[in-house]
Structure 1
Amino acid sequence: MFSKAFVCCFLVGTLALPDKHVSDSTKSHQSVPKAHEVTTTNDGDPRLEVNYKDGEDDIKVALPGDIVHVEYTNGKQTETVHFGNELRPAFWKVTPHVHWDAHPLIHYTLVMVDPDAPSRQNPTLGEFRHWLVVNIPGGNITLGETITAYTGPDPPVGTGFHRYIFYLYRQPGPIEFDEKHRAAWKREYFSAKMFAEKHYLKGEAGNFFIAKNPPTEPVVTEEYKYETLKEIGEK
């Protein structure tokens, strides 16, 4: 299931929307690592491709062509998710703050998954669903419907890096999700792609971080991670 060039592809749809309301705090986080390439899907929609090395493996993560901003805060410390940086264990269990360039009249779905469960070399349980919130009005997650409560990363010891991917979808309108009535709905064997197709969701934004147990000493920082990214899309 996993190959040297692992591709986690996500196709984005289009929708004509009025101008978005963008806060100053959101604008301040509008940054993308150098080693990236903005491409298009077969439908001509934007897609952000991030390439990096994990040991000998060339890893590619394809996300919708916009950024969902994710911040983990533990006490007075905050770590920002930024396209493949490593997060320390102290931040794993805290529900993150998530924001994006939301339109007030659009409903959104937010998903967080681990496609590398129990390991990237043998992802027989993936995708593992860490978080699922639907019918989010505008950008207010607290007013959305939580189908799967947040649970932080818990990569098994010695299984290497796991990717934790955030997908943000825009809905065609409010949806009655039948999944919320499944009390015993397992987190394993989830497919964000199939869930989106079932409910006619369109990709809006994405982001991801990596984590492993035990963590890297010292932890892989953004600067170090970007140095290991495969340089593509440079002019």
Structure 2
Amino acid sequence: MYRLCFLIFLINVNYFIASPVQSDLASSFLEHNIVPDVLSVVPEEYLAVKFPSGAEAHNGNILTPTLVKDLPSLSWNAEPDLFYTVANVDPDVPSHDDPTKGQVVHWLAGNVPGDDILAGDQLMEYFGAGPAQDTGLHRYVLVVYEQPAKLEFDEPRMSNLTAENRYYFSIGDFAKKYNLGDPIAGNFYLAEYDDYVPILYKILGI
């Protein structure tokens, strides 16, 4: 009886510790229309996202393109024996009010073993936020999917020196194509134009 009561106590403690985080994640995804614009459901787990600049994404906080120009580190409850897909998309191109170019892929990696992202297949190498001038804030959504197994991806491999093949994307369609199910972890930030964007455009040949 004591063990049963102790187990119930631990479950309740874990619920009250985790619940506010999940509630915050859900409310921010709904408030900013990540669901349904990008995803059909809110991910169950908060994805920790930290950039080399020291900036961190947190449920729609505002960051600058300068702060997010380099590949971030991600943290979630990854299992070392499983494979994951990681994606970063901007659904607001050319702007939030006129998203006629679908989702633009800023990063797409598959067959990630555990949380060792660089050991995965870099289908679309990372480049940071690049919202055009006078287009307002864009949403930059990062998600993690648990793969059913190691997969053969027939997507083009693109370097971070080009924006080719990155427009008119849908992470939902991609997930269906490879039977990924719903994302298990997610986060997002907002960004608008700053002085780094012309530098990025020059790199990408835009």
TM-score tier by shorter-chain length is 0.7 to 0.9
Larger proportion of strand: 1
User: Aligned partners of 1:110 and 1:34: how far apart in 2?
Assistant: 20
- Aligned-pair distance for 1:185? 6.0
RMSD: 2.6
Aligned to 1:226: none
- Aligned-pair distance for 1:126? 2.1
When normalised by structure 1's length, the TM-score is 0.65
User: Aligned partners of 2:194 and 2:67: how far apart in 1?
Assistant: 14
* AA in 2 matched with 1:165: V
Query: Is 2:81 the partner of 1:126?
Result: no
- Aligned-pair distance for 1:51? 5.9
2:73 to 61, 79, 97: 97
Name the SS of the counterpart of 1:113 in structure 2.
strand
Q: Would the aligned equivalents of 1:94 and 1:152 in 2 still touch at CA under 8 Å?
A: yes
Q: Which runs of 5+ in 1 are unaligned?
A: 1-29, 38-47, 53-57, 216-235
How many residues align? The count is 168
User: Aligned partners of 2:143 and 2:34: how far apart in 1?
Assistant: 12
- Aligned-pair distance for 1:181? 6.0
User: Aligned partners of 1:152 and 1:169: how far apart in 2?
Assistant: 20
1:61 to 16, 34, 41: 34
Question: Could you list the per-position Cα deviations for residues 175-230 of structure 1 after superposition, in whole angstroms to 9, with x for gaps in the alignment?
Answer: 00011468996100000000000100032110000001149xxxxxxxxxxxxxxx
Query: Is 2:188 the partner of 1:208?
Result: yes
Aligned to 1:36: 24
Aligned to 1:174: 150
* AA in 2 matched with 1:61: I
* AA in 2 matched with 1:131: W
2:178 to 196, 199, 205: 199
Q: Would the aligned equivalents of 1:79 and 1:87 in 2 still touch at CA under 8 Å?
A: yes
Deviates more, 1:106-115 or 1:91-100: 91-100
Aligned to 1:50: 28
Runs of 4+ in structure 1 deviating by more than 3 angstroms, as ranges, are: 30-37, 180-185
When normalised by structure 2's length, the TM-score is 0.74
2:165 to 173, 180, 186: 186
Name the SS of the counterpart of 2:66 in structure 1.
helix
Q: Which runs of 5+ in 2 are unaligned?
A: 1-17, 36-41, 196-206
Residues 121, 178 of structure 1: CA spacing in aligned structure 2 closer, same or farther, 3 A cutoff? same
Residues 93, 181 of structure 1: CA spacing in aligned structure 2 closer, same or farther, 3 A cutoff? closer
User: Aligned partners of 1:35 and 1:119: how far apart in 2?
Assistant: 28
- Aligned-pair distance for 1:69? 1.0
- Aligned-pair distance for 1:139? 0.9
Name the SS of the counterpart of 1:153 in structure 2.
coil
Residues 33, 139 of structure 1: CA spacing in aligned structure 2 closer, same or farther, 3 A cutoff? closer
User: Aligned partners of 1:134 and 1:61: how far apart in 2?
Assistant: 22
Q: Would the aligned equivalents of 1:35 and 1:51 in 2 still touch at CA under 8 Å?
A: no
Larger proportion of helix: 2
* AA in 1 matched with 2:123: I
